[in-house]
Chain A
Amino acid sequence: MSLLALTGIRGGYGGADILNGVDLHVESGEIVVIVGPNGAGKSTAMKAVFGLVDVREGSLVFDGVDITRYRSDRLARLGISYVPQEKNVFASMTVHENLEMGAFIRRDDFTAQLERVYDLFPPLKEKRNTRTGALSGGQRQMVAMGRALMLEPKLLLLDEPTAGLSPAFTDLIFEKIVEINAAGVSILMVEQNAKQALGFAHRGYVLVLGANRFGDTGANLLANREVAEMFLGG
């Protein structure tokens, strides 16, 4: 059984449908990347998983539970964490407070997980009492990912985690994603740096006009001439 399965998802934000039949699944332990041209509905597909899209048709199943009409806070309790592409930190709050907010719905002791996040992102421990808005883009992305990990999710949703980052930080964030995955967290991500992401992902989907055109292992997609010409810049 898949950890996450989307079947025939259609929907949008109330107006015309942006998703026109998306089918995708994430197996436990996988990194799955969604790539595709601008306006293909990549981020919308991601948001649909986190209950932020009006899903008109189709079904979402997570860990054996039908989550099609679930609201975000219930999904968070089930073990899904979401990192939006933009405005993904509380800029006026300290790094430490951002991580605490990530654990907002937890009523148990989360200090062990806090230490694990600081171990994963050592610069954050150093800057724990710094206002997050004062950090660099790469460090802010670490805060955003760290915040999402505070729930110890089974599935982490990352919307373009390297958008606007320097190549050095992009490499670092990708390394961290692989590390998080190795610790047992399944990952579904949207990524602009398609070639690089498909290089380490287990599988990938190419989304075009709100529907998936291709779906295969990362290596196969990279080797696919049609995909390469259309979406990976030759």
Chain B
Amino acid sequence: MLLEISQLTVYGIVLGSIIALGAIGLSLLYGILRFAHFAHGDVMTVGAYLALAGVAGLGLPMWAAFGLALAGGIALAVLIDQALYRRLRRTAPVILLIASVGVALILRSLVQLVWGPDTQVYTQELQMPMRVLDIRLKPSQLQILIGTGVLVVLLHLFLTRTRTGKAMRAMADNPDLARVVGIDTEQVVIWTWVIGAGLAVAAGIFLGMDTRLQPTMGWHILLPVFAATILGGIGKPYGAIIGGMVVGVASELSTMIFPPVYKPAVAFALMVAMLLVRPTGLFGTPR
């Protein structure tokens, strides 16, 4: 029993890492652009498949494919922003939201068109799990945990040590004052896409490493990602990390009671409960 709980908690942290990386981007984008980016899950999908193209298509090692996918995913997100979202910035946020649903459908269809609808994997090699205190952990899961840790530390350093990172926090905090102190808001928007899409690509690749690649993988994880964002307080990137972990661990632990297909329902229930009890999130202060 205790072993099962520990084992599921570890799996939950792995899943939570993936959710958290998506949620941080979603939260940052909401903080800066004030709309819920529904295509975020599909940016994850695109990232995962770009890495597949690197590994399976070009025969690159995983780390190089990771870099390629990062560059490609970020370029795509900035392109979509400049070509589409930028024109809609002065309209109501709901229009941007609907536009992003459209982008989500387009991205998913493109992935299906290029790579086909079938399930694919990065490697056919059998992964032997390691055992630490009787808890099983696959090498890929360890890589996900380390990768997430590195990315979170890098993000923290970016947000607290760099001029651009501070400008990003300032704009999320108080957009009018950000303009008063002379922050170039369009430049901050582009940087937000770079960070948000970069983390989404990483999350997509990690998801593909942990499970398999499918054109709908990102769309399916979008709900837990949203749940994590809301749990952490929408617009708060650090809260999103905790939110991701809570959703991940709760989803895995729920399989002790419910069949695994109900995992998304657990995330949904958490989100609804949070919105009812504390809509500003775990660490939110009521305005």
Contact = CB atoms under 8 A, between A and B. Distances in A.
Interface residues of A, number: 22
Given A90-B170, A93-B166, A93-B170, A102 B176 contact: no
B180 A82 contact: yes
Interface string B158-198: 00000100110110111011111111100000000000000
Given A90-B170, A92-B169, A100-B166, A105 B181 contact: yes
Nearest to A150: B181
Contacts of A105: 181-182
Interface string A85-101: 00111111100010011
Given A76-B182, A84-B180, A105-B181, A91 B166 contact: no
Interface residues of B, number: 18
A201 to B, nearest CB: 24
B174 A97 contact: no
B176 A77 contact: no
Contacts of B182: 72-73, 76-77, 104-105
A50 B166 contact: no
Nearest to A132: B173
Interface in A35-92: 50, 72-73, 76-77, 82, 84, 87-92
Indicate the member of B176, B182, B183 with the most A CB atoms within 10 Å: B182
A10 interface: no
A84 to B, nearest CB: 7
Interface in A114-159: 133, 147
Contacts of A72: 179-180, 182
A104 B177 contact: no
Contacts of A102: 181
A92 B173 contact: yes
Contact of A93 (B163, B173, B180, B285): B173
A101 B181 contact: yes
B176 A101 contact: no
B174 A87 contact: yes
B169 A93 contact: yes
A129 to B, nearest CB: 11
Task: Across the A-B interface, give the 10 residue pairs with the lowest CB-CB distance, nearest first.
Answer: A73-B182, A105-B182, A90-B173, A76-B182, A92-B173, A104-B181, A90-B170, A101-B170, A101-B181, A90-B174
